[in-house]
Structure 1
Amino acid sequence: MQRIVKPKTQRGRRALDKKDPKIFENSKNALMFKGGNTSQTVTQVLKDWHTLKKPNATLFSKKNATKPFEDQSSVEFFASKSDSSLFMFGSHSKKRPHNIVIGRLFDGQVLDMVEFGVTNFTSLQDFKTLKSATGIKPCLAVSGDFFEESDDNRRIKNLLIDFFRGPTVEKISLSGLEHVISITGANGKIYLRSYRILMKKSGSKVPRVELEAMGPAADLVLRRTRLASDDLFKRALKKPVTAKPKKKKNISRDDLGNKLGRIHMNTQAFDKLQVRKVKGLKRKKAEKEVNGTDDEAKKQKKEESTDA
């Protein structure tokens, strides 16, 4: 039996309400922590991505004797404590040097995990350039045939997009686009690059866009995967009925995104419309006589019905 602890203070109630499932989920928080043995490269990888993902990131400075692929309970415990649904774990050993694990959770349990080896790493500090502002949503550029070779590779692509995409926004300002994350899969490796967007004068309203390497940069080698089953993954993607937008009648959109609407109107009597008096629109005598005889016949029918 699992013991249920009820909050005793108002602050505890607010903390539990914040962790409860919501119809419209808030921005995903990422947890960065390291194992018992780490290297300087792995430690710097965790620090750099924690810096870029602020404020939606939590970094544990102490070492933790855990192995995600052997026991997921510690990962689930740390994620629950920090209210995180994404995690990045770093470790180092002779068998798996400079090792990182990127994963996500669903319903408090580990959903997907992918293990990478880090090679050709360049830190954020090694690039002597200006950095993007904190909390900026990055632009993701994902390319490469590697992500289309198998279903597992497509799932890895989905995991990386989920991890690096940042908070969900409704509107985007052109001046707010400052950060680009490039993820390229080729030759069995994943090339991770980070750029800063520079908008320079072009002589017109549209600026000239240039990319400047900002860091960090790393080459990731795929080692191990632990992906969820199709049924569990489908259940994780399911949206509540209340979160789906209500369909509006007689409104649709074409391929270009233009909004189209259908209007229903009653049949109009054009002979009774009030228009400008023009000689060409006047009724002829023959039409008046025909209409007059029709009116007299209707009156006779009414009188006969009343007499009966």
Structure 2
Amino acid sequence: MSYVYTKCLCKKYSPILSYRKPTSHKGKKAIINREPKLIENKKQTLFLLGRNSSEVVSKCMKDLYHLKKPDASMLSRKNDITPFDDVSPIEIFSKKQDASLFVFGSNSKKRPNNLIIGRMYDHNLLDMFEFGIENYKGLLDFHTEKISTGMKPCLLFSGPQFVDDPIFNRVQNLFVDLFQREKVDALRLQGVEHVMHFTTAEEKILLRNYRILLKKSGCSIPRIELEEIGPSVDFKIRRTRLASDDLFKLACKQPKALKARKVKNISRDAFGTKLGRLHVKQHNIARLQTRKMKGLRKTPAEKKLKRDQKKKNAK
């Protein structure tokens, strides 16, 4: 799964000149924080409603906002925006809020219970998808204990369409960008409490949320049980706007500074032991000093034989 970067590192510009000039140290610090980095900040998601919305759309957006918190912000007022006709207002909101993802809800006779999810690259639209909400059950409809805020979810994708169909494959990439949090090197078993399961069925994507329960099993490994906590939604794909292959490749391009450099002449064996190879120049053995080495000293018999040979040569 390709990781999409939100800002372009190839542009060399001053963060002070690209925004309004700050009047305080705190404002200057906030502007510099928006500058492109090798390791980016956590992706923020912007939630906003259209000029008309239904109760189903409002509740669904609130539930998604609850799952995304604290890396999300929701605008309270309604907005007269149609993203597939003109996405520039959302791009302005994205730059203002420094948000790389957005969720837009609307409702109309032609497209009832409509939800648009998209993402930005360098504060310009990368791609977006329009979904129809069907068979919705909210968080409050499940009378169970909920997960804590900010919990890192476990994302599961089931169905061959996520692999075979390019549209569903890009949707999978979008959901990973939307719900993933900061990268971690290791996870504690008790720290994984939330499962988000995406399943493809009849050209739809079924989203189910579960809470992981660790039960006693009589051994060191606990018994795992899943309890549905909501929300439960069936998404039907309506319209799409995909980025071109070149733009998507550019958005996924990893900076050179983050790529692991190959270290020459160092390897590891089957047991994980680090092995190194050293290249040394050829030594001139004829000039090697060996007289001070005890193991190479001449014996008394060899010294006497050499003295006798010198006397014989002198005569």
Give TM class, smaller chain.
Answer: 0.7 to 0.9
Please report how far the alpha carbon of residue 3 of structure 1 lies from its aligned counterpart in structure 2 after TM superposition: 8.1
Return the TM-score normalized by structure 2: 0.80
Percent of matched pairs sharing the same residue: 46
Is the 8 Å Cα contact of residues 116 and 222 (structure 1) preserved in structure 2?
Answer: yes
Cα pair 2:267 2:276 within 8 Å, conserved: no
- My pick for the range that moved more, 111-120 or 80-89, is 80-89
Distance in structure 1 (CA, Å) of the matches to 2:151 and 2:160? 29
TM-aligned CA deviation for residue 253 of structure 1: 6.7
Amino acid paired to 1:72: V
Within 5 Å, give how 1:134-173 maps onto structure 2: 134-173=149-188
- Residues 138 and 180 in structure 1, CA contact (< 8 A), matched pair in contact too: yes
Report the count of equivalent residues: 275
User: Aligned AA for 1:231?
Assistant: D
Tell me which amino acid in the other structure corresponds to 1:20. E
CA contact (8 A) 1:251 1:260 kept: no
Cα 1:162–1:266 shift into 2, 3 Å:
closer
* RMSD of equivalent CA atoms: 2.8
Q: Which residue does 2:275 correspond to in 1?
A: 262
Task: Mark the runs of 5 or more structure 1 residues left unpaired by the alignment.
Answer: 268-290, 304-308
Q: Distance in 2 between matches of 1:89 and 1:49?
A: 11
Structure 2: runs of 5+ lacking an equivalent = 1-16, 281-297, 311-315
Q: 1:244 to 1:200 in 2, by over 3 A?
A: same
- From 112, 137, 143, the counterpart of 1:97: 112
Q: TM-score, normalised by structure 1?
A: 0.82
Q: 2:197 aligns with which of 182, 192, 198?
A: 182
Distance 1:81 1:252, change over 3 A: farther
For 2:247, what is the secondary structure of its paired residue? helix
Matches within 5 A, 1:282-293: none
Partner SS, residue 205 of structure 1: coil
The corresponding residue for 2:284 is: none
1:173 CA displacement: 1.2
Relative to structure 2, which stretch is displaced further, 17-26 or 89-98?
17-26
- The answer to whether the Cα contact below 8 Å between 1:27 and 1:168 also exists between their aligned partners in 2 is no
Among 212, 220, 224, the alignment partner of 2:239 is 224
User: Which residue in the other structure is 1:12 paired with?
Assistant: 27
Kept in 2: contact 1:35–1:66 (CA 8 A): yes
In the TM superposition, what are the counterparts of 1:1-308 in structure 2 within 5 Å? 5-252=20-267, 259=272, 261-264=274-277
